[in-house]
């Protein structure tokens, strides 16, 4: 833990939450719902306080409390890791992508990878070759089509992606999903390094690496991976006319559409609306 900045609770509050996590594990094993009354009596606080703290642990992705459904709780993998790690678990790791990444090592790997992703891209603009850097990030079929404008927009996408993920939000466009694939590669490399350093065991590395795919759960599909199997940009246009893809709602994967705003976000900044593609290069529309 890096000083007081990593502290999420005071010692008494932390110990109480540890006891709640332990109680969830015991109730799960017994296939019994939690009793707020009994926990409140044991911990000398109000039942309302117990409920609030259980909801907080649920929001951090450590448990499924089962309170509303009157079901036995589930102590999630991240919750078990927290019990094993104790106060060494940092605040930002607990909060990052808590609902979709059920592994604290995976969350930490994605946080670290996000820093490296943006830092290396920034360094390429300041001291290196940003176009070449961007070409190494995108699917090989599209690398030759990447120019300075696309590279700059991809850098904006990288920054935006990490901001969205920090808020638990999905990617805002296809370009951000492409960046997310590179983010996951960086995270896997960091997990592998941690194993080589003896910090993680092999099964821990594998479990965390498998959990990285939780990003696609957040994005609601992994269609972007198909782009890394394409041989030329025209393949994206062909895929757009595939009846199966149309039925599945696969987004337009042509380079021109990489920065189209997803339906849930606004076409502003580096994001564009589909109308921009329709009007680009049309003098009559531009004159209007």
Taking every pair of Cα atoms in the chain, the longest distance, rounded to a whole number of angstroms, is: 75
Number of helices followed by number of strands (H, E) in the chain: 15, 2
Residue with tokens 């605040």: 91
Q: Tell me, which fold does domain 3-91 have in CATH?
A: Arc Repressor Mutant, subunit A (1.10.10)
Q: What was the pLDDT predicted at 241? A: 43
Query: Is the confidence at residue 4, as pLDDT, over 50?
Result: no
Q: Which residues of 33-45 are buried (b: 16+ CB within 10 A; e: fewer)?
A: ebebeebbeebee
Query: pLDDT by residue (tens digit) across 57-73?
Result: 999 999 999 999 999 99
Q: How many residues does the chain have?
A: 288
Long-range pairs of 41-46 with CB within 8 A, sequence gap ≥ 24 = 43/16, 43/19, 45/16
pTM: 0.85
Nearest to 258 by CA among 86, 139, 167, 163: 139
Domains of the chain: which residue ranges?
3-91, 104-282
Q: What was the pLDDT predicted at 12? A: 86
* Ramachandran quadrant class, 280 (left: phi over 0; alpha: psi -120 to 50; beta: rest): beta
Q: In what helix (H) or strand (E) does residue 64 lie, and over which residues does it extend? A: strand 63-64
Query: Is the confidence at residue 270, as pLDDT, over 50?
Result: yes
Query: pLDDT by residue (tens digit) across 159-212?
Result: 999 999 999 999 999 999 999 999 999 999 999 999 999 999 999 999 999 999
């Amino acid at each position: 833990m890096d000083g007081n900045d990593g502290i999420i609770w005071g010692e008494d509050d932390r110990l109480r939450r540890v006891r709640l996590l332990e109680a969830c594990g015991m109730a799960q094993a017994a296939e019994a719902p939690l009793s707020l009354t009994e926990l409140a009596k044991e911990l000398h606080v109000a039942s309302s306080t117990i409920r609030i703290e259980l909801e907080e642990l649920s929001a951090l992705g450590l448990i499924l409390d089962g309170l509303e459904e009157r079901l036995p709780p589930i102590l999630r993998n991240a919750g078990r890791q927290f019990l094993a790690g104790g106060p060494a678990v940092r605040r930002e790791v607990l909060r990052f992508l808590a609902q979709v990444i059920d592994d604290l090592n995976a969350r930490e790997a994605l946080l670290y990878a996000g820093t490296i992703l943006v830092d290396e891209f920034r360094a390429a603009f300041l001291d290196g070759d940003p176009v070449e850097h961007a070409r190494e990030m995108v699917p090989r079929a599209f690398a030759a089509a990447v120019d300075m404008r696309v590279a700059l927009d991809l850098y904006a996408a990288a920054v935006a992606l990490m901001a969205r993920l920090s808020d638990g939000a999905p990617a805002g466009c296809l370009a951000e999903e492409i960046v997310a694939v590179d983010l996951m590669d960086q995270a896997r490399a960091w997990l592998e390094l941690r194993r080589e350093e003896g910090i993680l065991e092999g099964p821990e590395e594998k479990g965390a690496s498998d959990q990285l795919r939780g990003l696609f759960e957040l994005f609601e599909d992994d269609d972007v991976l198909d782009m890394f199997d394409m041989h030329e940009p025209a393949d994206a246009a062909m895929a757009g006319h595939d009846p199966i893809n149309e039925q599945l709602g696969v987004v337009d994967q042509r380079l021109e559409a990489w920065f189209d705003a997803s339906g849930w976000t606004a076409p502003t900044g580096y994001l564009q609306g589909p109308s921009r593609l329709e009007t680009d290069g049309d003098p009559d529309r531009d004159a209007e």
